Amino acid sequence: MSNRAYNFNAGPAALPLEVLERAQAEFVDFHGTGMSIMEMSHRGAVYEAVHNEAASRLLNLFGNPSGYQVLFLQGGASTQFAMLPMNLLTEGKTAGYVKSGSWATKALKEAKLIGETFVAASSEEDKYMSLPDVSNLRLPENAAYLHLTSNETIEGTQFREFPDTGSVPLIADMSSDILCRPFDLTQFGMVYAGAQKNLGPSGVTVVIAREELLRESPKHLPTMFRYDTHAENNSLYNTPPSFSIYMVNEVLKWIEEQGALEGIEKKNQDKANLLYQAIDASGGFYRGCVHPESRSTMNVTFRLASEELEKLFVKESEKEGFVGLKGHRSVGGLRASIYNAVPKSSIQALVDFMGQFQKNHG
């Protein structure tokens, strides 16, 4: 498989080669059914087993805490930005948002359309190049929840620790770092993630929530926008994105094979260290964008002395088989997304390329 690209795409992103090959092997005939998993009824026993397996594998990776349920939804994390306040930000309540970057800001924008909100902490003054301090938040009594973005995919920051919000449910958009490390799910009322960064292909959004938060959606909400609809119907109220969910199940199997979340964390730490060390050891030729204590292990953002040099970097890297190193159009610079499925060998190749590029242009 020497023709696989060095894939640093931000999302959709690299998938484990083993998963792609397994899916390929059963693509046309799933377990002797004479059909692809894509071609069968979502009401049949074969599909339902896969569906339920994916949900239970997910909870299992978090140690099966009691009272949590998994939902498989559509519309991406962006739909959750609205669906969350539609369901939980009810009359007389307010919702707190940690404004840590581009995605947190988008989540807040949607909540403002639905109800009353407040900014509990913000690092906007620092242009989101660091994370706001969330260690001593004061939350009003009528707070419906506190929302934070565990990993800011565009800026390249990542929370190491999460605030204690007492009886107020803590809710996290974990789209770009879910399953990158162990964490205590019971700290959270709900976490959600679009699958296409760390969980599988695009098309499915995973929600893991405490059951009581999924139980009573406001009466006026249309059926498909209600958490209770999907919770009561095991995410099978309507046709689910069955192929994406099948792929998520395969990625979860792969994570188990990597030593589960502890094993994955070790690998991610090692990968991120390799790249950040190369940046820091370059004598200022490469400059990390964010404060070192806020650095993400998933999205590594860095710059060169000029935009011209950055453009040249992207161009030359593409010639060498590297994909996706251009920073997000809203912030510029360079970004290497090194999610779970990006092998260390890709990062070693990038570090070697960076050394060579510096030699040629430094």
Q: Rounded distance, CA 294 to CA 286, Å?
A: 18
Shortest Cβ 222–ligand PLP spacing (Å): 19
User: Where do the DSSP E strands lie in 23-112?
Assistant: 68-73, 94-99
**Does the annotation list 254 as a binding residue?**
no
Catalytic residue among 99, 177, 197, 326: 197
Strands 334-337 and 299-303: antiparallel
x-or-dash string of contact with ligand PLP, 127-166, rule CB under 6 A: ----------------------x---x-------------
Cα-Cα-Cα-Cα torsion 92, 98, 99, 104, nearest 10 degrees, comes to -90
Residues 300-334: b if buried by 16+ CB within 10 A, e if exposed: bbbbbeeeeebeebeeebeeeebebbbbbeebebb
x-or-dash string of contact with ligand PLP, 323-342, rule CB under 6 A: --------------------
Residue 198 phi/psi, 5-degree rounding, is -120, 0
Shortest Cβ 308–ligand PLP spacing (Å): 28
Shortest Cβ 77–ligand PLP spacing (Å): 4
Shortest Cβ 221–ligand PLP spacing (Å): 20
- The token pair at 213 is 């938060």
Active site residue 173: yes
Q: Confirm or reject binding of residue 175 to ligand PLP (CB under 6 A).
A: yes
Catalytic residue among 173, 177, 271, 326: 173
Contact in structure between 295 and 156 (CB atoms under 8 Å): yes
User: By CB under 6 A, which span of 29-37, 76-84, 117-125, 233-241 interacts with ligand PLP?
Assistant: 76-84
Contact in structure between 190 and 230 (CB atoms under 8 Å): no
Q: Which of residues 86-125 bind ligand PLP (CB under 6 A)?
A: 103
Select the residue interacting with ligand PLP from 9, 14, 84, 173 (CB under 6 A).
173
Strands 170-173 and 143-149: parallel
Select the residue interacting with ligand PLP from 77, 83, 84, 111 (CB under 6 A).
77
Q: Looking at the annotation, which residues are catalytic?
A: 103, 173, 197
Residues engaged in binding ligand PLP (CB under 6 A): 11, 76-78, 103, 149, 153, 173, 175-176, 194, 197
